[in-house]
Structure 1
Amino acid sequence: MAGRLQSKIALVTGIGAGIGQGIGLMFAREGATVIGCDISEQWAEAAVATAQAEGLDFESVHPIDLTKPADVQRYIDYAGRKHGRIDILVNAAAIPPHMKPVAELDYDAEWVPTMVGEVDLVFLAVKAAWPWMVGHGGGSIINFASVNAFRGSTNTGMVAHCAGKAAVLAMSRQIAIEGGPHGIRCNTISPGMVKTPSTQGAGTSTGAIADRILQRLQIKRLGEPEDIAYGALYLASDESTWVTGANFPIDGGVLAG
């Protein structure tokens, strides 16, 4: 089923690495015109080089700090003005959260940046993209919650992360309701532990913590970005035109146990 996103205009945030890059490349391979962004110029340019070596329609606007409204507007409007519409918005980027228990978490230095980096940047991108979807045929918005929107962790203090991802889940349901009359669908993906530069840097994808995570999985391996990208591909495609307000756990079975 090649060409599942043929002729669609897809914005994917965080294309420099990890899940965002996996989604951006898969979408382009399926025929989409992909306009990505990343805060890292180096990583974004490397992703573009990879895509261009395959002959894919893939570009990036960078550096973009998605916690700054002006940066978000610049990115979204660049794509909208160039193509006249936005068919797909994937909010894959996130600022690494502060992982501490409630008793140790500082409000100003840790709680607030985590909320901004997990919740605010989703709102800002959706708000900026809305006019490019309303009146232009609607579109598909894909946001990222997490298994931690549903369960806590005995391995790591993550009160802010759990709260942020639960907020994205609830916000996305309301976006689906408000978007329905305009042909705008909004769904969430809730990944389990996926091997990315961020999780490797935090020490959670290898070693003792990873071993404890594996014990909870029904499929005994950590996720790869492509595992998530296949789910996003379905939600972005016309195969899911009757799907909105839904959440898709892609987690190796964590939530089943």
Structure 2
Amino acid sequence: MASALMRRVSAFKSDLIMPLAYLHRRFISCGPKVLSQNNLPQAGFFLPDEGVMLPPGSFKNKVAFITGGGTGLGKGMTTTLSTLGAKCVIASRKLDVLKQTAEEISNQTGNKVYAVQCDVRDPLSVKACVDELIDVAGLPDVVINNAAGNFISPSEKLSANAWKTITDIVLNGTAYVTLEVGKQLIKAEKGAAFLAITTIYAESGSGFVVPSASAKAGVEALCKSLAAEWGRYGMRFNVIQPGPIKTKGAFSRLDPMGTFEKSLISRIPTGRLGTPGEIANLAAYLCSDYATWVSGAIFRMDGGEYVSMAGEFNLLKKVTNEQWSMMESMIRKTEGS
């Protein structure tokens, strides 16, 4: 724990001399809040450092377009990119929330953030949004498909409309935005970095969130396919699969009573939830000029949750002393034979 304390002291000192890191940690970090809730003892070894990872000005003179940018992970990624010099345009259905976020981030970073209303489920709304994006900021250098929708439901209780609602936002919305922006970029002979935010169960599948799992898996297939096809046009496509991150929007829908959070943390080897700032740093790297040879890749960022759940014998950590004694006896017999 002493080393963990030293890391925190070092981080504090860095804040005194690095204003960008200070802005980032102050305005989008929710690490302390996450760590105060049901974290396991080993979480002290894995404290989140949400200071800006990339050098100042890494996105100077670049335009970033982020769907679902008004709240949660989208707001965190927008703050980081704006801090690094990007001219950001955020989009979602709720224009009042967008405008508030845009003003807040602009005041914090000193860089203009534009709010553009868009319903990603509607191709006409997407086209109008992209036209406005180009009008106010220019063709984007970075496109982050972050807009999402989800809810918990037994699959036998799903209606056709419930299925359509989620797949329209997640899969169709990502496709509409990507194709509309991509066609404009091809026409202008301009490259860009695309990033999609999915989830670890896009890979494994998961009951009770079947529309989301199916749609997110489709998004990953879309990104890998276009990485192969559109690289010749100067476009890169990558994906981040976040593990559980406590944001107001996601947890209000998926864990409204707070009963699921403890079980989530218990299966994460690092002993804590993730934070928006950690995702934002990875997103910034993947969309930056430091990652120009990274395309068609899927990055899992989940504190080890996926592999913890996947390993058939990982539950042995719950074995009692009595059970271990029996196992040791069996081992000795096996060694003797």
Partner of 1:50: 104
Aligned to 1:69: 123
User: Among residues 136, 149, 171, which one is paired with 1:119 in the alignment?
Assistant: 171
The residue that corresponds to 2:72 in the other structure is 18
Alignment correspondent of 2:144: 90
How far the C-alpha of 1:159 sits from its partner, in A, is: 1.4
1:36-185 aligned at under 5 Å gives the runs 36-54=90-108, 55-62=110-117, 64-94=118-148, 96-106=149-159, 108-134=160-186, 135-153=188-206, 157-185=208-236
Q: What is the count of residue pairs matched by the alignment?
A: 252
Amino acid at match of 1:237: S
Amino acid corresponding to residue 248 of structure 1 in structure 2? F
Output the CA distance in 2 between the equivalents of 1:141 and 1:243.
11
Aligned to 2:288: 237
Cα shift readout 1:204-238 (whole Å, capped 9, x = no counterpart): 28732111111221222112211211111011100
CA distance in 1: counterparts of 2:239 and 2:275, whole angstroms: 18
Which residue in the other structure is 1:199 paired with? 250
Kept in 2, the 8 Å contact 1:10–1:35? The answer is: yes
* 1:31 correspondence with 2:85: yes
TM-score (normalizing by structure 1): 0.92
| Per-residue deviation, 1:133 | 2.3
Please give the secondary structure, in 1, of the residue aligned with 2:155.
Answer: coil
Aligned-partner residue type, residue 134 of structure 2: G
Whether the aligned pair in 1 keeps the contact of 2:73 and 2:247 (CA below 8 Å) is: yes
Report the CA distance between 1:203 and its aligned residue.
4.7
Given residue 147 of structure 1, which amino acid in structure 2 is its aligned partner?
A: I
Q: 1:252 to 1:88 in 2, by over 3 A?
A: same
The reply on whether 1:186 has 2:237 as its aligned counterpart is yes
Runs of 5+ consecutive residues of structure 1 not aligned to the other structure: none
**Identity level (%):** 27
Normalization by structure 2: what TM-score?
Answer: 0.71
The equivalent of 1:246 in structure 2 is 297
Query: Unpaired segments of 5 or more residues in structure 2?
Result: 1-54, 309-337
1:6 has 2:57 as partner: no
Instruction: Give the SS at the match of 2:271.
Output: coil
Rate the CA distance shift 1:5–1:205 in 2: closer, same or farther, 3 A. farther
Instruction: Specify which structure has the higher proportion of helix.
Output: 2
> Once superposed, what is the RMSD of the aligned Cα atoms?
1.7
CA–CA distance in structure 1, aligned partners of residues 236 and 95 of structure 2: 31
Structure 1 position 110, deviation (Å): 1.1
Q: 1:205 to 1:187 in 2, by over 3 A?
A: farther
